[in-house]
Amino acid sequence: MVCDKCFMRKADLMVHKVIHTEEKLHLCTQCEKTFPTQRHLKQHMNVHSSKYKCTECGKCFRSKDKLTVHRRSHSGEKPFQCTVCGKQFRTAHVLPKHRRIRSREKPYICCNCGKSFAESGNLNSHMRVHTGDKPFTCSLCDRSFRLSGTLLSHKRSVHSNRRPFECCDCGMLFKRYHKLKCHIRIHTGAKPYSCRHCSDYFTFSSQLKTHLLKSHNEGTWFTCHICEKMFTKNGGLQRHILYHKGVKPYVCSDCPKHFYTKGELKSHQLKHSDIKLLCCGLCGKEFKCKSYIKVHFKKCSNNLGLCDVFLH
């Protein structure tokens, strides 16, 4: 059975064809592994002979060229320079990529949808949208992903409780750096997203998207086929459909309760935990849930003679 997969180079196509023929003709004499091409076998043979060693850190390399590039990380040498902006690089292959970014040249074009890319690796990743390939599988839950970066984000957000990024203003912890960057705007009051139709500014891109839909009818509404309720995000629609179906896929690990959404489950699990991540800025009292601190903060501000303040 053949497929319609596209490739930039003939060599890549020849390697791919082996998947259909299941041929593996090139044998490693040391471990008896077989490979589809001589080039793959040659790359594999380097595993058995890493003879180039860095005298400064002891790290070993399969080729002299890779050792030479590595040594520049110790010396700080960057011999390859962009003639336009003067930026310097340790390796030669990075320079053409840098030039394409500056010139906005995108020579790698998708044969299915015509979308263009500055790097061949980005095109290869994009092709998985059309082929449906998901080569990166989570070892903990068997979920598969198109990109290695998505897999790392999944492991960090789903399977790890580690929150290495801390807000210096309120001490709130985050699993991802970009979440911290977005959160900081709450303290600074920054609103980097502006509406092209009016003078409104927004803290988050999602707020701008919602504004464009509701105020200027720009964008696509997601409509429920059962009750015709409209949503600005597909995620909101999918969560809403669960209520129609009566499906509660999220189960608490500490008790038998089920929930419609991951957010409901996370809020519930705080009841089983002693951790209190939220703190009232007026009296210092700590809370587990955002809904609790909203009610408390309003009462606290009234007791102190302040105007009503609502948390967003």
Report how many helices (DSSP H) and strands (DSSP E) the chain contains, helices first.
11, 20
Side chain identity at 63, as an amino acid letter?
S
pLDDT at residue 311, rounded to an integer: 41
Asked if 279 and 287 touch (Cβ cutoff 8 Å), the reply is yes
CA–CA dist 190, 188 (Å, integer):
5
- pLDDT at position 138: 82
Token pair recorded at residue 266? 């996370």
If DSSP codes are grouped into helix, strand and coil, which group holds residue 268?
A: helix
Residue 93: count of CB within 10 angstroms of its CB: 9
What pLDDT was estimated at residue 198?
92
Domains contained in the chain, CATH given: 10-48 (3.30.160.60)
C-alpha triplet 230, 233, 236: angle, nearest 5°: 75
Spatial CB neighbours of 309, under 8 Å, sequence gap ≥ 6:
297, 298, 301
Supply the pLDDT for residue 308. Answer: 42
Distances (CA, A) of 60 to 49, 120, 212, 281: 10, 28, 55, 53
Q: What 8-state DSSP symbol labels residue 308?
A: P
- pLDDT tens for the chain, 312 residues: list them: 466 666 656 656 666 665 565 555 677 776 667 776 777 777 777 666 666 788 887 777 777 888 888 888 888 888 888 888 888 888 888 888 888 777 778 888 888 888 888 888 888 888 888 888 888 888 777 788 888 888 887 777 777 777 778 888 877 788 778 888 888 888 888 898 899 899 999 988 888 988 998 899 888 888 888 898 888 888 888 888 888 888 888 888 888 888 888 778 877 877 777 766 677 767 777 776 777 777 777 777 777 654 443 444
Strand stretches in the chain, DSSP E: 26-27, 34-35, 52-53, 60-61, 80-81, 88-89, 108-109, 116-117, 136-137, 144-145, 165-166, 173-174, 193-194, 201-202, 222-223, 230-231, 250-251, 258-259, 278-279, 286-287
Q: CA 121 → CA 13, 19, 107, 109, 116, distances in Å? A: 16, 20, 12, 12, 12
